[in-house]
Amino acid sequence: MLSIKRVPTVVSNYQKEEGGEATRPAGGCGRNCLKSCCIQDAKLPLYAFKKANKVVGKDEGKEAPVAFLDSLILGEWDDRMQRGLFRYDVTACETKVIPGEYGFIAQLNEGRHLKKRPTEFRVDKVLQPFDENKFNFTKVGQEEVLFQFEASDDGEVQFFPNAPIDVESSPNLVAINVSPIEYGHVLLIPHIFECLPQRIDRDSFLIALHMAAEAENPYFRLGYNSLGAFATINHLHFQAYYLTVPFPIEKAPTKKITKSKSGVKISELLKYPVRGLVFQGGDTLEDLANTVSDACICLQDNNIPYNVLISDCGRQIFLLPQCYAEKQALGEVRAELLDTQVNPAVWEISGHMVLKRKKDYDESSEANAWRLLAEVSLSEERFQEVNAMIFSAISASDKPDIEPQFPHEADAISSTSHLAVVAGSHECLVLQ
């Protein structure tokens, strides 16, 4: 388990709203931000990763030492915590594993509810243009940024503790999430100065996979929320944090649907409250990234909100189209679920229930978690329609071999998953 030191936490001057009082060093706008007014001559640590050409399986290769990227993230995150740059002390939040077959995790996080930045855009449009007048990551303080994350020029891992920021090349930055959910909660912001809206493309998704692979820590997962699926900032970013227990979604059984020409296996989640697809394998990391990002682009282009979980050091990716915000708008979500004020984004869908009320935390149960997540899922009919669109999009670029699997086949269900069913929730299962 990770050792977490609890320290007094205060809101830093750098998090005050623009126009608010802030005592900052002279120069620029006075906020030490990442915009042109303050970025000149600024320097940040640079982690240069080695581009991996092969998707390495769990049992391949020798046991690796503790990854430097892993220690870098944790060390820098602890430093920002000591400096009081978070909106609240997440290490003081109560957390428990809910009894049951799946082991849903409940956290009481009242600080996030009260202090998290509000959403500033429409929730019915997955693709919306970037608006520089609204909050974006160029407005954060430079002290919130941990390091730059770039591919190495010579193919070897390198670290530069004080590297210039090349604004023209628009680096990928890793910054703290000032409203954290868990220990080590960070943001990966690809090509920050290009000011890309919250939408996945092939290049940005590959960067996220490289980060997962480079950390080489199964407790470190990356997540992505599209607009309409509870992203709160329309500036391209992934989230990541450490949780030293399995996510329930990682334990759900799967059934293989197809395998692409490049070796990416696509499966369907079974016996889980949210219907979704699972991507694994591929001849290279880029093959896996391209297949998943093509599926994401298809959803974006068809205005279908979705969430993504990058698991198992980048080897396993969950793609989860959802419709909770749409149901909310239509008045189709039950009052008792709305009263929880839980917005089911990638972490909740994966089984880490971030609860905002003590009552909900005290009464948390597997049945309650299942009931909420079942409202997130597409219907079986709609899910199959969306799958058809996704496979068509992937086929257009990769021409996968369709290999339908049937329940009677010996390898139809992943042998690494358990088949437990939650009592009273059969209507939520993904059955064939």
Write the pLDDT tens digit of every residue in 330-339: 999 999 999 9
Torsion sign, CA atoms 384, 285, 272, 411? positive
pLDDT at 199 over 70: yes
Instruction: Tell me the average pLDDT across 313-322.
Output: 97
Write the pLDDT tens digit of every residue in 138-180: 999 999 999 999 999 887 899 999 999 999 999 999 999 999 9
What positions carry a catalytic annotation?
A: 237
When pLDDT is cut at 50, 70 and 90, the band that residue 117 belongs to is: low
Instruction: Tell me the average pLDDT across 249-275.
Output: 96
Residue 336: count of CB within 10 angstroms of its CB = 11
Write the pLDDT tens digit of every residue in 264-284: 999 999 999 999 999 999 999
pLDDT at 58 over 80: no
Picking from 349, 369, 202, 342, the residue whose alpha carbon sits closest to that of residue 276 is 349
pLDDT at 345 over 80: yes
Pairwise CA distance, residues 120 & 406, whole Å: 45
Averaged pLDDT of the chain: 84
Instruction: Tell me the average pLDDT across 56-76.
Output: 70
Question: What are the φ and ψ backbone dihedral angles of 7, each rounded to 5 degrees?
Answer: -135, 155
Q: Which residue has the tokens 């931000």?
A: 33
The strand order across the sheet containing 105-108 reads: 95-97, 105-108, 352-355
Instruction: Tell me the average pLDDT across 256-268.
Output: 93
Contact 342, 324 (CB under 8 A): no
Contact 310, 317 (CB under 8 A): yes
Q: Percent of the chain at pLDDT above 90?
A: 73
Contact 269, 278 (CB under 8 A): yes
Instruction: Tell me the average pLDDT across 113-128.
Output: 72
The whole-number pLDDT of residue 114 equals 57
The whole-number pLDDT of residue 267 equals 98
Please, is 415 exposed, middle or buried when counting C-beta atoms within 10 Å of its C-beta (0-12, 13-18, 19+)?
A: exposed
- The secondary structure of residue 58, as a DSSP letter, is T
Write the pLDDT tens digit of every residue in 354-400: 999 999 999 999 999 999 999 999 999 999 999 999 999 998 876 54
Set out the domains of the chain in order of their start, with CATH numbers. 43-428 (3.30.428.70)
The whole-number pLDDT of residue 398 equals 67
When pLDDT is cut at 50, 70 and 90, the band that residue 31 belongs to is: confident
pLDDT at 195 over 90: yes
When pLDDT is cut at 50, 70 and 90, the band that residue 98 belongs to is: very high
pLDDT at 17 over 80: no
The whole-number pLDDT of residue 109 equals 92
Contact 94, 361 (CB under 8 A): yes
Say how far residue 415 (Cα) sits from the centre of its chain: 26
